[in-house]
Amino acid sequence: MIGRYKYDVAISVAEEDCQVADLVAPALRKENLSVYYYRDEDNAGQNIMGITMEVYGKQSRSVLVVTSKRSVKKYWAKVELQMVLNRAKEEGTPIVQLKLDNTPIDGISNHTLHYNWENNPEQIAVGIKEKIKKYKRTERVRAISRIAPVLLLALALIWSLSYQRSIDKQKHIQPLMQTAFASPVGKKMAIVPNGISANINPFFISATEVTITEYREFCQEQKMDMPPQDPLSDGNTPVTNITWSEALAYCKWKKGRLPTETEWEYAASAGQTAKYSGGNNAAKVAVYRQDHPEQVATKVANDFGLFDMTGNVAEWCNDWIDAAETWKAVRGGAYIDRISPLNELAVSFRSKEHPDTRSPYIGFRVAWDE
């Protein structure tokens, strides 16, 4: 715990407020604190979501959050704040707020200790240094208190190893049908019949996009970090910021797979000729032209009982979209998309993304063979 942090302080700040961070960062370093400030880093060519998850989710002992009326409107500032708040709740990671004005910030109490900006970077740096000293002392105490229980636990694990192996063996030899779904057709799934014109065999597919709650269960079981989500989202909102490989891994965990692009389009159209999945009225069937996703299944389903095949979040498909195997197919359109001048919500509209992309606009759903 004591040596695992790369930075004593990470600075979270909106681009419009960087003139403040430009003064605070060197003042912190003058106090011999290791600081992450994105303007001082060479992050060219790196994935911004990956950097955010590493720095604010793992590598920083504390986070200085610069807040203002501008920061509450900025997507990345909100993503960073949500990640920091989640980590503070789970691990007790210290948050230091630097107020540029009195704009209320969701998740941070007005009674939380904070600094007000008065062109006083040196004073702020000295105060944060004292806080860091206290954090380090607390970490040492916690580390020492963990030693004895860990040793006892190790002995207990060694003693019970043979028994645990026996239990695991019994679990692995259980029939597959006991771990797979007993009946795929139900509230959360729909069967897609064979498509004559599309030459498609029957298959099952999720009635909704995979939600944050569902993906979080996967992350917890697999000991993975949960990627940051839109601050306005809840557990029943589609999960986003998932790479293609991560989506596929979840599908396999559910004994399924990603749908092919042909399967996806046939399922979305439900064998009809409507412009969108579920009809020709986008407002009735799709979440679109807004700045955040909504809960799944709030719009009208199509004739196969599938929700949000148009809008809310776009969806990864299994296919490569090019011969060089550089891009994966993405279908369905997202909450941010428009229907004019280019109709990005049409069932027939095709888009693509690199499989390593983490996008706040892309999620997925699961398919199963019949």
Give the side-chain half-sphere CA count within 13 A for 150. Answer: 6
Beta 350-353 vs 367-369: how paired, if at all? unpaired
Is 153 a member of any domain? no
Is 149 a member of any domain? no
pLDDT at res. 35: 94
pLDDT at res. 27: 95
- 128 lies in the same domain as 47: yes
Whole-number Å distance between alpha carbons of 313 and 240: 8
Is 128 a member of any domain? yes
Whole-number Å distance between alpha carbons of 277 and 350: 14
pLDDT at res. 184: 38
- 278 lies in the same domain as 133: no
- 201 lies in the same domain as 255: yes
- 125 lies in the same domain as 185: no
- 271 lies in the same domain as 364: yes
Give how many domains the chain has, as a whole number.
2
- 88 lies in the same domain as 192: no
CB atoms within 10 A of CB 128: 24
The side-by-side arrangement of strands in the sheet containing 114-116 is: 35-36, 7-12, 60-67, 95-99, 114-116
- 88 lies in the same domain as 186: no
Residue ranges of E strands in the chain: 7-12, 35-36, 60-67, 95-99, 114-116, 189-192, 203-206, 314-320, 328-331, 350-353, 362-363, 367-369
Is 148 a member of any domain? no
Is 169 a member of any domain? no
Q: Look up the CATH number of the domain holding residue 115.
A: 3.40.50.10140
- 67 lies in the same domain as 120: yes
pLDDT at res. 169: 39
Structural domain boundaries, residue 128: 7-138
pLDDT at res. 32: 93
Is 161 a member of any domain? no
- 216 lies in the same domain as 355: yes
Closest listed residue to residue 64, CA positions, set 5, 110, 129: 129
- 191 lies in the same domain as 337: yes
Is 165 a member of any domain? no
Is 90 a member of any domain? yes
Chain position carrying tokens 């700045």: 291
Q: Look up the CATH number of the domain holding residue 188.
A: 3.90.1580.10
- 365 lies in the same domain as 253: yes
pLDDT at res. 85: 83
- 203 lies in the same domain as 76: no
Q: Which residues in the chain come in under a pLDDT of 50?
A: 1-2, 148, 162-163, 166-187, 196-197
